[in-house]
Amino acid sequence: MKSFFLALLKSRAGLFGFVLVLVFVLAALLAPYLGLPVPTRSNLVARMVAPTWTGAFSPGAHPLGTDELGRDILSRIVHGSRVTLAIAAAAVVLGGIVGTLLGIVAGYYRGMVDRVLMRIVDIQLALPLMLLALLVIAALGPSTTNLIIVLSLTSWLRYARIIRGQVLALREREFILSAHAIGAGTWRIMIKHLLPNVMTPALVIATLELARIIIMDAALSFLGLGVQPPNPSWGRMLADGRVYISTAWWIVTFPGIAILLTVLSVNLLGDWLRDYFDPKLRTMR
Amino acid sequence: MAPLLEVRNLTVAFDTPSGTVHAVNDVSYTIEEGETLGIVGESGSGKSVHALSMVGLIATPPGRIVRGEVVFNGRDLLKLSQRELLDLRGKEIGFVFQDPMTSLNPVLTVERQIAEPLKRHFGMTSAQARARVIELLELVGIPDAARRAGQYPHEFSGGMRQRVMIAIGISCNPKLLIADEATTALDVTVQAQILDLVRDLKRKIGTTVIWITHDMGVVAGLADTVQVMYGGRIMERGPVRSVFHDPRSAYTWGLLKSLPHGGKRGVTRLYQIPGNPPDLTRDPIGDPFAPRNPFATDRCKVETPPLVDAADSVAGHKVAAWYDLRAALATQEARP
């Protein structure tokens, strides 16, 4: 753990990503205790109040202004991150575990298992993911659980495809024969020998996927299929605020920046984690 | 005393799109406890395949064990279930493979890899295994073992990795250690060090060893018994001294003749065995070496010679040949 932070301190990009992710996660966890206004309470007198620091007329303390119903934007972003980050993290973990395991199974067993799994991936890739998500949400109804299921459904195949390819190459390597020779069974080989070898690509996919899922979640909310109003979500805020972009730019800008920063910090952190987990790069530091 | 391992009529074939490859044909031999058996042969001679097939390490399909028995310590390995084979591999039979660069898992520390058979077979915890891992690393001559254990394979040189592989191979004190081309990928000085280590280990722990190689020199320095294989058959077998000084198979003779001899002045071309390696998709009838054998008789092409005691030689020296190599060489020398 100590060496983890020591290594982190040496990478500017990694540290930046890590700190930012930490800030977002802490803000999300501690949202109710930050003394922010209630995110769902509207105040029609204080509609579309500009952020305090712009110097424009701004009754009440709204650091990032208020939206068309007079709700505090900072509070809505922070509370919205709870849902967004939880959904994105859950979907990445779920999709990642399922996809990685299926990828290992397909690559290791090959044959029928591989063909069936990869045809499912092909079919799903042929459908636009957004359409698939819309269909499933429309059928199951919008709820947090369904959203997680749908998002991981659009995510597992990327892991499965890439991990399978890696495993196809790895299973022919001599160290897998060595593992057989010391009496390791199928599961032992898949979990103890193949899994650590595909962790690096899986982690890279996970960071890309986390960013993509946050955006997709925003898009689904934008279309009204994600988190239901009046609960705040970043996508929803973008959708509702875009009408007022010419009169109250802050309503769409700040949720947009929140999405941007989250995706950026996750990517930076993921990039660094990938290097950290590569034993060859680690010892060179 | 019953031999540690008795192979009887082992026959292995591979079904490939271009026909059935007869990789191992009717191989029978025994190895006593404590013996070191060197198996020599060129690529495709069946030396590796027969060893891997004994413990179920060949892919089936395309591989297929046609018939045979492999009695190890009183049990026929070919009749064991997958489960029993898993329990046996690494515990009672250890392996060391050819390429130490690729035989270790690049993302796991050396300690984890040596500890794995210990955890797998003896149910040790990581902490319990650690002491044994360090002891093993010291045994195979890796200095600063406690620190080296935590390192990754890429931090070791080729020779050091092969030492690690040997540590894995002997970790559970197996009765039999099979080394498949274990020194082939190493340069000559490192090779010599590894052979010293193996001799040393044999003295300390007395494991029975099957050493598979294509290098006659390695066998000469290490083995008690040598077994020459060609085209999936045993051509000749016997005590090292006897086989090297008095070969009875034309193939062994050709192999020994094609070795460079030190001390000779001037540049002389090395002898080469004429012809090409056998086409193993043909039906395995006759002496597989017959097409390349200058001393072959008509009988060699149609009838497979059995492995029988060589005439006027020491006990245990056996050869599969219809021709008489000594007589043939004598007449050849008599010619002007």
Q: What is the CATH number of the domain that holds B300?
A: 3.40.50.300
Q: What is the ipTM of this complex?
A: 0.78
**Dist CA B162 CA B137 (whole Å):** 11
**Dist CA A221 CA B325 (whole Å):** 88
**H or E segment and range at residue A105:** helix A73-109
DSSP state of A44: G
**Dist CA A192 CA A183 (whole Å):** 13
Number of domains in chain B: 1
What's the average model confidence in pLDDT over B158-175?
A: 88
Name the 3-class secondary structure at A72: strand
Say what the pLDDT of residue B296 is: 79
**Dist CA B133 CA B112 (whole Å):** 9
Neighbours of B64 (CB within 10 A): 15
Closest listed residue to residue A155, CA positions, set A172, A133, A182, A136: A133
B86, closest residue in chain A (CA to CA) = A183
A4 touches chain B (CB under 8 A): no
Q: Is residue B33 part of a domain?
A: yes
Q: For residue A280, which residues of chain B lie inside 8 Å, CB to CB?
A: 106, 152, 154
Closest listed residue to residue B293, CA positions, set B259, B266, B264, B320: B320
Say what the pLDDT of residue A114 is: 92
Q: Which carries the bigger pLDDT value, residue A158 or residue A227?
A: A158
Say what the pLDDT of residue B336 is: 52
Q: pLDDT band at residue B228, thresholds of 50, 70 and 90?
A: very high
Three-state secondary structure readout of chain B: CCCCEEEEEEEEEEEECCEEEEEEEEEEEEECCCCEEEEECCCCCCHHHHHHHHCCCCCCCCEEEEEEEEEECCEEHHHCCHHHHHHHECCCEEEECCCCCCCCCCCCCHHHHHHHHHHHHHCCCHHHHHHHHHHHHHHCCCCCHHHHCCCCHHHCCHHHHHHHHHHHHHCCCCCEEEEECCCCCCCHHHHHHHHHHHHHHHHHHCCEEEEEECCHHHHHHHCCEEEEEECCEEEEEEEHHHHHHCCCCHHHHHHHHCCCCCCCCCCCCCCCCCCCCCCCCCCCCCCCCHHHCCCCCHHHHHCCCCCEECCCCCCCCEECCCCCHHHHHHHHHHCC
What is the distance in angstroms between the Cα of B150 and the nearest Cα belonging to chain A? 11
**Dist CA A102 CA A121 (whole Å):** 11
Closest residue to A177, CB basis, from B87, B97, B154 = B97
What is the distance in angstroms between the Cα of A172 and the nearest Cα belonging to chain B? 10
What's the average model confidence in pLDDT over B304-333?
A: 82
Neighbours of B281 (CB within 10 A): 14
Percent of chain B with pLDDT over 90: 13
CB A181 within 8 A of CB B97: yes
DSSP state of A31: G
Residues 6+ positions from A118 with CB-CB distance below 8 Å = A106, A160, A161, A164
Residue range of the domain that includes B9 = 5-89+224-334
Q: For residue A173, which residues of chain B lie inside 8 Å, CB to CB?
A: 102
Q: Tell me the C-alpha to C-alpha distance, in Å, between residue A9 and each of A3, A4, A99, B49.
A: 10, 9, 32, 52
DSSP state of A32: G
Q: Is residue B53 part of a domain?
A: yes
Q: For residue A283, which residues of chain B lie inside 8 Å, CB to CB?
A: 151-152, 154-155
A184 touches chain B (CB under 8 A): yes
B60 touches chain A (CB under 8 A): no
pLDDT in tens, B279-311: 887 777 888 888 888 887 888 888 888 888 887
pLDDT in tens, A9-58: 888 888 999 999 999 899 888 878 887 777 777 777 777 777 777 766 65
Say what the pLDDT of residue B211 is: 92
Q: Is residue B183 part of a domain?
A: no
What's the average model confidence in pLDDT over B247-264?
A: 80
Closest residue to B57, CB basis, from A181, A199, A200 = A181
**H or E segment and range at residue A103:** helix A73-109
Closest listed residue to residue B69, CA positions, set B151, B127, B10, B12: B10
Buried b (16+ CB within 10 A) or exposed e, A67-84: bbbbbbbbbbbbbbbbbb
Q: Which carries the bigger pLDDT value, residue B148 or residue A233?
A: B148
A174, closest residue in chain B (CA to CA) = B103
pLDDT in tens, B189-212: 888 888 888 888 888 888 899 999
Q: For residue A192, which residues of chain B lie inside 8 Å, CB to CB?
A: 116
Q: Is the dihedral of CA A142, A145, A148, A152 positive or negative?
A: negative
Say what the pLDDT of residue A161 is: 92
What is the distance in angstroms between the Cα of B89 and the nearest Cα belonging to chain A? 5
Using a cut of 0.80, tell me whether the model's pTM lies above it.
Answer: no
What is the distance in angstroms between the Cα of A186 and the nearest Cα belonging to chain B? 10
Q: Which residues between 256 and 285 in chain A have a beta carbon less than 8 angstroms from any beta carbon of chain B?
A: 279-280, 283
What's the average model confidence in pLDDT over B121-142?
A: 89
Q: For residue B98, which residues of chain A lie inside 8 Å, CB to CB?
A: 174
pLDDT in tens, A158-179: 999 999 999 999 988 888 888 8
DSSP state of A66: B
Angle at B196 between CA B194 and CA B202, to 5 degrees: 100
**Dist CA A62 CA B246 (whole Å):** 100
What's the average model confidence in pLDDT over A202-213?
A: 86
Q: Do B89 and A175 touch (CB under 8 A)?
A: no
What's the average model confidence in pLDDT over B172-186?
A: 86
Mean pLDDT, chain B, whole residue set: 86
Q: For residue B57, which residues of chain A lie inside 8 Å, CB to CB?
A: 177, 180-181
Give the phi and the psi of residue B181 in degrees, each rounded to 5.
Answer: 55, 40
Q: For residue A174, which residues of chain B lie inside 8 Å, CB to CB?
A: 97-99, 102-103
Closest residue to A183, CB basis, from B91, B108, B155 = B91
Neighbours of B118 (CB within 10 A): 24
Q: Is the pLDDT of residue A96 over 90?
A: yes
B88, closest residue in chain A (CA to CA) = A183
Say what the pLDDT of residue B3 is: 84
Neighbours of A86 (CB within 10 A): 13
pLDDT in tens, B42-81: 887 888 888 888 888 888 778 888 888 899 888 898 888 8
Closest residue to A196, CB basis, from B89, B108, B117 = B108
Q: Do A177 and B55 touch (CB under 8 A)?
A: no
Say what the pLDDT of residue A200 is: 84
pLDDT in tens, B12-50: 988 888 888 888 888 898 998 888 999 998 887 888 888
Q: Is residue B182 part of a domain?
A: no
Cβ-Cβ pairs closer than 8 A, A with B, add up to 77
A181 touches chain B (CB under 8 A): yes
Q: Is residue B287 part of a domain?
A: yes
Name the 3-class secondary structure at A249: coil
What's the average model confidence in pLDDT over A185-194?
A: 88
Say what the pLDDT of residue A282 is: 62
Q: For residue B55, which residues of chain A lie inside 8 Å, CB to CB?
A: 181
Q: Is residue B77 part of a domain?
A: yes
What is the distance in angstroms between the Cα of A163 and the nearest Cα belonging to chain B? 16
Q: For residue A197, which residues of chain B lie inside 8 Å, CB to CB?
A: 105-107
Q: Is the pLDDT of residue B1 over 70?
A: no
Q: Which CATH architecture best describes the domain A85-280?
A: Orthogonal Bundle (1.10)
CB A103 within 8 A of CB A199: no
Q: What is the rounded end-to-end Cα distance, in angstroms, of chain A?
A: 16
Q: pLDDT band at residue A102, thresholds of 50, 70 and 90?
A: very high
A186, closest residue in chain B (CA to CA) = B86
CA-CA-CA-CA dihedral for B211, B213, B218, B219, to nearest 10: 60
Q: Is residue B277 part of a domain?
A: yes
CB A283 within 8 A of CB B152: yes
CB B40 within 8 A of CB B229: yes
Two tokens, residue A277? 């987990």
Say what the pLDDT of residue A163 is: 93
Q: For residue B91, which residues of chain A lie inside 8 Å, CB to CB?
A: 183
Say what the pLDDT of residue A285 is: 43
Q: Do B154 and A175 touch (CB under 8 A)?
A: no
Closest residue to A174, CB basis, from B102, B116, B151 = B102
